[in-house]
Amino acid sequence: MKHAISLGVGEPDFVTPWNIRETAIFSIEHGSTHYTSNWGTIELRREIAKYLSSRYGLGYNPKNEIAVTVGASEALDLVFRAIINPGDEILVPAPSYVSYMPGVRFAGGVPVAVAFYDRLEQNMNLGGVLINNPVAWGYTVRRSGLRTFPSDAPSSETAEDDDFDLFQETAVNIAEPVAVLHRSSDSRWLFVQLYNYRGWLKAVDVAMDSSRQNWQARLTSDAFVVVTGSRVDPRETAMGKPVADWRAGMGTRLPLLDRENEGYSVEIPQRGPNGGVQWKKAWIHGKADVSVGYLPYTRAAIIRQAFKMLGDNYGWGGLQEGRDCSSFIMDIFTVFGIRAPRNADQQERVPGRHISFRGLPDAEARYALLGSQAEPGATLHMRNHVMLYLGQDGGKHYAIHDLGSYGDASRARGDGTLPRVEVMQVVVSELDLPLRSGRRFIEALSSANVWHP
């Protein structure tokens, strides 16, 4: 094509200048035809160091900080192999030179065309954000996933690792109040504010209230039931079947109409033809695990709530109807009317009696502090994980937590790390359980916290 510049081959569109060709011929004629150091000749590396210093003000040692490669492809290959970990997502411009994406794959990475993120950013409708933006008020009409971007496209460490979608922020229960701040370009997604999180929800999963006053009145009403079991399935009538979209997880709050037919008559938000909320009457069995109003806040009740989820599936960000470690904790405390932060590091900073393990490398000292200062029902914190402390029995300390995996101490590697043992459910374990790093859970704890709301 006339006037088109090909970026595919990576070859200049001009003849190599004569002074370079002449120098190459001279070198060959005078016997410079043998292998050089893999670093390149020291003379060349010195000249490169001088150029970088004079042109860019950069200082590199030509002896051990500069290497000369046979073309840019070899240089890129060396860089890829040095810095890419297996499963790393690497942004690659599109269109691009033909070896970029294969080079990333050979190094164990996952190439992602920049065009993919361009489409995500375009759908965020950033140009539609004004200095002052109207806010709408609504409720979720089913359990829904809050996303990083307005897209269902998953993002994981590896193609096979679909248990951990990094674009999944959190699951949102039915009847959760939301403030709608923005819409995507395709109008299929809403950027919302929850009480503790922001992200993108599908528009079909949200019903709008007519005014903030009505929305606020629902939030402050004393007539409600809260789901205290792991899950509850409301029905349209006492004789009807459970409605799949109405499944409510622990902590869900539903407006209470009355006691009826040995059960509870409640309201469920539904999305009307124009997107407005329509409250539909529903029924929950009287023996279902719900409470009229919030539960009294006691240590026994905290532990009782935790064991109601024993054996439940682990689900990163609420995927596959599951919970992760921090949503496990969040749901427990929500039934007491405590609106906990969503993520583990934020939960570590909840007001309470904090017990720090920093500076205590010895496990025995940590156990002594834990046993003397913490109470059953306290949260235990470490990097990227949170647990609920159960106390000690027979000299062993135990916790209940939603656990993805631990390390197999019977197959330690040469560097001390341990192979992954998949769990993916709520379990009770000792704090001597090994991590994949080779450390034990007790050795990785940063703090314990006895929550004081």
Domain 126-216: CATH superfamily is SH3 Domains (2.30.30.40)
The pLDDT of residue 159 is 55
Interior/surface letters 287-298, b for 16+ CB within 10 angstroms, e for the rest: ebbbeeebeebe
CATH number for the region 229-292 comes to 2.30.30
pLDDT value at residue 452: 86
Q: Give the Å distances, CA to CA, from 168 to 156, 206, 239, 413.
A: 10, 18, 36, 32
**What is the distance between the alpha carbons of residues 313 and 331, in angstroms, rounded to a whole number?**
14
For residue range 192-209, what is the model confidence (pLDDT) as tens digits?
999 999 999 999 999 999
Mean pLDDT of the residues in the chain: 92
Same fold yes or no, 126-216 and 295-453: no
From the CB of residue 280, how many other CB atoms can be counted at a distance below 10 Å?
15
Say what the pTM is: 0.77
State residue 112's pLDDT score. 85
| Position 302 pLDDT exceeds 90 | yes
Across 328-336, average pLDDT:
97
- Burial-class residue 273 by CB neighbours within 10 Å (0-12, 13-18, 19+): exposed
66 pLDDT band (50/70/90 cuts)? very high
pLDDT at 54 over 90: no
- Give the full edge-to-edge strand order of the sheet including 385-393: 352-356, 447-451, 379-382, 385-393, 396-407, 420-430
Query: What is the structure's pLDDT at 415?
Result: 83
**How many angstroms separate the CA atoms of 39 and 262, rounded?**
82
Confidence of residue 73 (pLDDT cuts 50, 70, 90): confident
Q: What is the largest CA-CA distance in the chain?
A: 103
Q: Higher-confidence residue: 185 or 58?
A: 185
What's the rounded Cα separation, in Å, for the pair 240 and 325? 34
Cα distance between residue 338 and residue 324, in whole Å: 18
Each residue's pLDDT tens digit, 225-270: 999 999 999 999 999 999 999 999 999 999 999 998 899 999 999 9
Q: How many residues does the chain have?
A: 453
95 pLDDT band (50/70/90 cuts)?
A: confident
pLDDT at 341 over 90: yes
Beta partners for residue 285, in sequence order: 263
Domain residue spans of the chain: 18-34+69-114, 126-216, 229-292, 295-453
CA proximity to 364, closest of 430, 426, 442? 442
Superfamily for the 295-453 domain? endopeptidase domain like (from Nostoc punctiforme) (3.90.1720.10)
Q: How confident is the model at residue 117 (pLDDT cuts 50, 70, 90)?
A: confident
Provide the 3-class DSSP secondary structure of residue 40: coil
Residue 364 pLDDT > 90: yes
3-7, 72-76, 168-172, 339-343: least confident range: 3-7
